[in-house]
């Protein structure tokens, strides 16, 4: 209401065009980094390739992300936030549909990008600790949201591990979809596991 | 008995010292290739590095495996055969123990080597089709053995998908163990899902 009754005051005092441009550049770089990782893997993903893809100068890219590791861990953190938002938006009134929605989030290009960084981190000293910390944080957050969406009561024995195993299965299905179109098989597996999870959570 | 009663005849007419040496060299190269992939990933794995590690000349390595792709797909096929043998050796009289044994086979250095090749293949044209074909074949074989070891009756609806989902979960757990020691969490997840899978298969 304040903005309507006082039209002469700046309605967004915390933003200005320069900051907006900077945010938009950062966003374009993150999105380009995600696509680049998903399509070319870690070996084919450099700051220069991403800057060109985003239509941003290399200097501007390095202003936002001083190192290759900064850029790609930020990109995977961005992916994780997108996934968390999508998880929160899943229907919480139909558990089998929620299971299927959770798996979908691990089998698309966002997961593919994260997978490439994850595997590269196993052999890159500059990446390992950062990605391990990021994945642990993201894993806890995904678990927390999945518990909510599934309406799971974690005070009951076994419920916590049922949900964790479901997320592990979703990651395994994401891996299976990397080289071939695994959709038909996946749908049958998910439909059966959705039943198992529903029974286990209803108990 | 023939070898004992006729000691002047060659007891192993299909083998000779030269063939034995060649087999031993091939075996050493495959084992070195697996360790190399597990420790350094695809980017750090070349024929030269593997030959040196195996104590074999680069020429001899290239005699056995003309290209880098030949060497590493053969190495992952070798890993898959080791895993199939280990799967067959699991106890078939205790289903929950069998589930835990199956997961163990996806969380060690053999799986880690296969994972690196798998992920690299997503972005390498020379690898993609070969690794996709190999993984499809290995996946079917692992599934077949898991069904046997679990004593699962695939004529019942949902049983096939229950076992497939379990193998997908095992792969997801293998991925989770890549950057951190995930053993304590994994044991709790596996123990819970061993119960759920047992119930689903007993039905």
User: What pLDDT, in 10s, does the model give residues B119-169?
Assistant: 999 988 889 999 999 999 999 999 999 999 999 999 999 999 999 999 999
Residues 6+ apart with CB under 8 A from A94: none
Name which of A3-17, A40-54, A140-154, B159-173 the model is least confident about.
A3-17
In a domain, A85, yes or no: yes
Identify which of B112, B162, B172 has the shortest CB distance to residue A171: B172
Identify which of A168, A171, A179 has the shortest CB distance to residue B135: A179
Q: How far apart are CA B3 and CA A57, in angstroms?
A: 77
Q: How far apart are CA B131 and CA B37, in angstroms?
A: 14
DSSP, res B107: S
Task: Kindly tell me the sign of the dihedral angle through the C-alpha atoms of B66, B68, B70, B76.
Answer: positive
**CB neighbourhood size of B21 (10 A):** 10
Binary contact (B118, A169; C-beta < 8 A): no
Residue pair B113/B79 in contact (Cβ under 8 Å)? The answer is yes
For chain B, the straight-line distance linking the first and the last C-alpha, in angstroms and rounded, comes to 51
What is the reported pLDDT for A157?
Answer: 96
Binary contact (B136, A178; C-beta < 8 A): no
Residue pair B111/B174 in contact (Cβ under 8 Å)? The answer is yes
Residues 6+ apart with CB under 8 A from A15: none
Q: Which residues of B52-64 are buried (b: 16+ CB within 10 A; e: fewer)?
A: ebbebeeeebbeb
Which range of residues forms the domain containing residue A79? Answer: 68-202
ipTM score here? 0.88
Q: Which residues of B175-191 are buried (b: 16+ CB within 10 A; e: fewer)?
A: bbbbbeebeebbeebbe
Q: How far apart are CA B93 and CA A182, in angstroms?
A: 32
Task: Kindly tell me the sign of the dihedral angle through the C-alpha atoms of B182, B135, A138, A91.
Answer: negative
Binary contact (B122, A179; C-beta < 8 A): yes
Task: Kindly tell me the sign of the dihedral angle through the C-alpha atoms of B170, B171, B176, B180.
Answer: positive
pLDDT band, residue A123 (cuts 50/70/90): confident
Identify which of A115, A162, A185 has the shortest CB distance to residue B196: A162
Chain A positions in Cβ-Cβ contact with residue B76 (cut-off 8 Å): none
Chain B positions in Cβ-Cβ contact with residue A164 (cut-off 8 Å): 185, 188-189
How many angstroms away from the CA of B36 is the closest CA of chain A? 11
Average of per-residue pLDDT values in chain B? 90
**CB neighbourhood size of A162 (10 A):** 23
In a domain, A196, yes or no: yes
In a domain, B144, yes or no: yes
Residue pair B168/A173 in contact (Cβ under 8 Å)? The answer is yes
Q: How far apart are CA B164 and CA A22, in angstroms?
A: 47
Nearest to B109 by CA among B144, B81, B79: B79
DSSP, res B24: H
In a domain, B27, yes or no: no
In a domain, B113, yes or no: yes
For chain A, how many structural domains are there in total? 1
Res B4 pLDDT > 50 = no
For A5, A7, A24, A71, the CA distances from A13, given in Å and listed in that order, are: 16, 13, 18, 29
Is A116 near chain B, with CB under 8 Å?
yes
Is B113 near chain A, with CB under 8 Å?
no
Is B132 near chain A, with CB under 8 Å?
yes
> 3-class secondary structure for chain A?
CHHHHCCCCCCCCCCCHHHHHHHHHHHHHHHHHHHHHHHHCCCCCCHHHHHHHHCCCHHHHHHHCCCHHHHHHHHHHHHHHHHHHHHHCCCCCCHHHHHHHHHHCCCCHHHHHHHHHHHHHCCCHHHHHHHHHHHHHHHHHHHHHHHHHCCCCCCCCCHHHHHHHHHHHHHHHHHHCCCCCCHHHHHHHHHHHHHHHHHHHHC
Chain B positions in Cβ-Cβ contact with residue A167 (cut-off 8 Å): 172
* pLDDT digits 0-9 by tens, A39-92: 999 989 999 999 999 999 999 999 999 999 999 999 999 989 988 999 999 988
Task: Kindly tell me the sign of the dihedral angle through the C-alpha atoms of B186, A173, B44, B64.
Answer: positive
What is the reported pLDDT for A121?
Answer: 92
What is the reported pLDDT for B3?
Answer: 41
Residue pair A122/B178 in contact (Cβ under 8 Å)? The answer is yes
Residues 6+ apart with CB under 8 A from B18: none
In a domain, A160, yes or no: yes
Residue pair B110/A157 in contact (Cβ under 8 Å)? The answer is no
Nearest to B133 by CA among B121, B143, B145, B146: B121
In a domain, B99, yes or no: yes
In a domain, A109, yes or no: yes
What is the reported pLDDT for B8?
Answer: 47
pLDDT band, residue A1 (cuts 50/70/90): very low
Q: What does the pLDDT average to over A136-156?
A: 94
């Amino acid at each position: 209401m304040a903005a309507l009754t006082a039209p002469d005051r700046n309605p967004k005092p915390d933003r200005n065009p320069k900051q907006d441009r900077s945010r938009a550049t950062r966003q374009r770089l993150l999105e380009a980094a995600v696509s680049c990782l998903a399509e070319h893997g870690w070996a084919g993903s450099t700051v220069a390739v991403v800057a060109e893809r985003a239509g941003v100068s290399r200097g501007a890219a390095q202003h936002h992300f001083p190192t290759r590791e900064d850029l790609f861990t930020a990109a995977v953190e961005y992916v994780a936030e997108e996934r968390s938002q999508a998880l929160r938006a899943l229907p919480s009134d139909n558990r089998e549909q929620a299971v299927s929605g959770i798996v979908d989030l691990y089998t698309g290009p966002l997961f593919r990008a994260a997978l490439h960084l994850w595997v590269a981190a196993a052999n890159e000293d500059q990446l390992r600790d950062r990605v391990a910390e990021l994945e642990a944080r993201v894993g806890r957050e995904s678990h927390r949201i999945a518990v909510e969406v599934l309406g799971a009561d974690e005070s009951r024995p076994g419920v916590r591990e049922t949900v964790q195993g479901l997320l592990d299965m979703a990651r395994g299905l994401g891996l299976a979809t990397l080289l071939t179109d695994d959709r038909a098989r996946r749908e049958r597996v998910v439909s059966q596991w959705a039943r198992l999870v529903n029974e286990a959570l209803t108990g």
